[in-house]
Amino acid sequence: MDTTTQPTVAAVRKSITVQADPQRAFDVFTAEFDMWWPRSHHIGKSPMKKAIVEGRAGGRLYSEQVDGTDCDWGTVLVWEPPHRFVWAWQISAQWQFEPDLAKASEVEVRFTAVPGGTRVDLEHRHLERHGMDAAAIRTAIDSPNGWGTLLDMYAAEAERRRA
Amino acid sequence: MVTYEHPQLDALGDGTRRAILARLLDGPLPVGELAREFPVSRPAISQHLRVLKDARLVTDRADGTRRVYTLNPDAFESLREYFDQFWNHALAAFKRRVETPSPRASGKKSTAASAKTDQPRTRRR
């Protein structure tokens, strides 16, 4: 039974100013992605060796793992150096690669020259595309806090009812 | 830690209300349809929905003469909160990197991302 409206989730928006020109900020964000990306953030089965952005529209965001495998997790949607970079965040709520772009969120980053540097505006949007099903809710919030516990309860209830 | 004064925990402390939420995981439903699916009276369903609404776990809207209930996405902020925290952390690391003098920064302006160098990550001193 399909539904009339999908709930939407407000985009996450961040702005920071860095002391560098837009070209350097853009290059660090993309070409030097591996130099700043949190090492723990990959979906490979072994530790991450290197995180890579292929600098062109349609390019991949992927990681090289120490076990020799590559692990895709995104696709470049807009490549406009040094001003704008958009990619599809193709990690499902189950921490798997999501090949379907319709089920991926998007991250847009804009680089604007301001006195003394560059303002970097980031928007992570369409988070609802990652799904609100029971498994998504359960795994997205597996932290041992109150909310996690509450939602666990009700994800369990959902599964009980579906069984 | 959750306290027992938590209105959402209270709202979830009832099997029928948990079942209503579980049913709404599949999508919005009008109150009449919920009432048909549960072995309780329609006024009882309405009462449960009011508790869930007061706890901000569901929202409602009018659809013609019907009232349609939806899980409140704000109650499921966890994914959003996760990214909110994640980007604070990641952008701070990005800023540190941009503002760290790079031995390769002078004279080199590549716009294409390159994976060609496999040199170890530079250590910040």
Distance from CA of A77 to the nearest CA of B (A): 15
| In chain A, domain spans | 13-128, 132-163
Tokens of A89: 């965040």
Closest C-alpha among B77, B70, B53 to residue A4: B70
Q: What is the pLDDT of residue A12?
A: 87
**Chain B residues touching A12 at Cβ < 8 A:** 80, 83-84, 87
Type of residue at B90: A
Min CA distance, B43 vs chain A (Å)? Answer: 23
* Residues in chain B closer than 8 A to A153 (CB atoms): 12, 18
Strand order, beta sheet including B66-71: B29-30, B66-71, B58-63
CA distance A14 to A6: 25
- Structural domains in chain B, CATH included, are 7-74 (1.10.10.10)
Domain A13-128, CATH number (from 3.30.530.20, 3.40.50.2300, 3.40.630.10, 3.40.50.300): 3.30.530.20
CA distance A97 to chain B (A): 17
Rounded distance, CA B27 to CA B49, Å? 15
Beta strands in B33-79 (DSSP E): 58-63, 66-71
* Chain A residues close to B22, C-beta within 8 Å: 134, 154, 157-158, 160-161
Q: Are B22 and A153 a contacting pair at CB < 8 A?
A: no
Distance from CA of B53 to the nearest CA of A (A): 16
C-alpha distances in Å from residue A45, one per residue of A25, A49, A61, B4, B121: 31, 12, 16, 39, 22
Nearest to B87 among A9, A27, A122 (CB): A122
Q: What is the pLDDT along chain A (163 residues), one digit of tens a residue?
A: 334 345 567 788 999 999 999 999 999 999 999 999 887 777 777 888 999 999 999 999 999 989 999 999 999 999 999 999 999 999 876 667 889 999 899 999 999 999 999 999 999 998 878 765 444 444 433 333 333 344 444 444 444 444 4
- Chain B: residue whose CA lies nearest to A143: B78
**A149 contacts in chain B (CB < 8 Å):** 2
The total number of residues shown for chain B amounts to: 125
Residue entry with tokens 């660090």: A28
Whether ipTM exceeds 0.90: no
Tell me the pLDDT tens digit for each residue of B57-114: 889 999 898 999 988 766 655 567 778 878 988 999 999 999 987 665 444 444 444 4
Residue whose structure tokens are 């039974």: A1
Residues B50, B60: Cα–Cα separation, whole Å: 10
**Would you call A127 and B118 a contact, using CB atoms and an 8 Å cutoff?**
no
Other Cβ atoms closer than 10 A to B43: 9
- Residues of A with CB below 8 A from B105's CB? 24
Among A68, A66, A69, A72, smallest CA distance to A47 is for: A66
**Chain B residues touching A35 at Cβ < 8 A:** 97, 121-122
Rounded to an integer, what distance in angstroms lies between the CA atom of residue A46 and that of residue A64? Answer: 9
Under an 8 A CB cutoff, do B111 and A55 touch? Answer: yes
Distance CA B91, CA B93 (A): 5
CA distance A131 to A155: 14
Q: Which residue of A has its CA nearest to B99?
A: A19
